[in-house]
A and B are shown apart, each in its own frame.
Chain A
């Protein structure tokens, strides 16, 4: 299955799910078999048509864009700061085994801690604005990048290093021409995970307390038992995450040209 037939089949699954949702929740359409009241299914699970109404309303009135921009900003800032700090500290520890040995238990402890629990502390430190969400995202992204960089530097082959030294690379040259590119290849290979986690940090942070962002919209709607708006927010977030992932894939294709893909043949 490929091409149009595959797309049609994928679309069919989507339509099927929507129809199932519609028939199960539309009051009075089918006899109630679980809930005591025909309106209860719609109350708990929302209704697809109303959800789309909410989304269309957001788009037409333009009220959603402000929230999307804020969530996107938080995601990007968390990603950039987390990646840069992970890169810097990963390179440092990988190249100074003494420091790595001393800090090893602390890094393990910090990594195994459920870091979402830090959100209230960040809210106290950085307020309810964007920076507390960025901080949460950074703690998630940092460790992914850090471990990849650490691994990337450690796995540089000794022959490659010896060759670079023979070709005239001094310590700074090795860092710039060998360690950094090798570490970056590992960072790129974990790009999907780290961008995804930056996004998780932003949304969870918003959900736990904020004044703007898509997570905030969901939190507000939940407070008034407006399940349709909650679902609308979740759908928007999902589409947004898919778009981010697509952007990462494009980025990856450009920067990872040198890496062989499985079963790739050269087109001449």
Chain B
């Protein structure tokens, strides 16, 4: 299989704007690849630079050293083949759900008529068929996330980047959306790079789980292949004995890093 995205020794060092002497290396020497049609999750303690990696893959952030290749060619500027679903609210509040979903097509200069039809189709696909004319403040958190998902996927990106997309949702909505994402992904077989702090979610969704060490200078410290059968139901699979074994294996690696990250945060506060 060919790599959809490949990180080669990527490091990101941030320099404080107020005090150029203050440096913070979020990720250090990260190398891994996401193959075409593969669902890869990255887990790690808070503040370990998971989002930094996604921003590098999206082309929003240039690594301090190292490189990233997209389908074999080095990435310069915005990654046009990637769709990015952000953790924070990223919908345009002055647009309705439908206008948000077709935003990408509009930005790229597609004819509005065809874009509208496609947007309606995607709204139906994410279960928002009758809610296209709602504004952001008239939608629940789950509806906004569905809109975001449709907004990202309507452009049919070859690489889907997701930054804890469902972390703000309640558990039932979350499982529904996870299953929806899985069925959409399975139909298209795109490369997915999925960031989460939730180990259950990572195992239930992915082909491969990457564990990052606690920051600073975070780097991958473990890689686990999830050989659970597909199609999966994220709620049911949690009781599968293989799921439980994988969970305890990964947690054994992750646990120490989480404690380290926690201790660092506490000392930073104190």
- Interface of A with B (CB < 8 Å)? 157, 159-160, 162-169, 173, 177-178, 181-182, 185, 257-260, 264, 266
Contact = CB atoms under 8 A, between A and B. Distances in A.
A168 B84 contact: no
Q: Most chain-B CB neighbours within 10 Å: which of A160, A178, A182?
A: A160
B40 interface: no
A168 B136 contact: no
Contacts of A168: 80, 104, 107-108, 155
A182 B138 CA distance: 19
A163 B94 contact: no
Contacts of B106: 177
A156 to B, nearest CB: 10
Interface range, B side: 20 to 34
B86 A163 contact: yes
A87 to B, nearest CB: 16
B83 A166 contact: yes
B93 interface: yes
A65 B137 CA distance: 44
B225 interface: no
Nearest to A178: B92
A160 B80 CA distance: 17
Interface string B70-95: 00000000111011101011111111
Contact of A167 (B88, B136, B137, B155): B155
Contacts of B123: none
A258 B90 contact: no
Contacts of A181: 92, 94
Nearest to A170: B107
Contacts, number: 65
Closest 3 CB pairs of A and B: A260-B137, A163-B90, A167-B104
A182 B48 CA distance: 33
Given A159-B86, A167-B151, A258-B137, 13 more contacts: A160-B90, A160-B92, A162-B55, A163-B91, A166-B78, A166-B82, A167-B155, A168-B108, A178-B92, A181-B94, A182-B94, A258-B136, A259-B93
B103 A177 contact: yes
Q: Most chain-B CB neighbours within 10 Å: which of A159, A160, A163?
A: A163
20 contacts: A159-B86, A159-B88, A159-B89, A160-B90, A160-B92, A162-B58, A162-B84, A163-B84, A164-B107, A165-B60, A166-B82, A167-B155, A168-B80, A177-B103, A181-B94, A258-B94, A258-B96, A258-B135, A259-B137, A266-B138
A173 B107 contact: yes
Nearest to A165: B78
B90 A162 contact: yes
Contacts of B151: 167
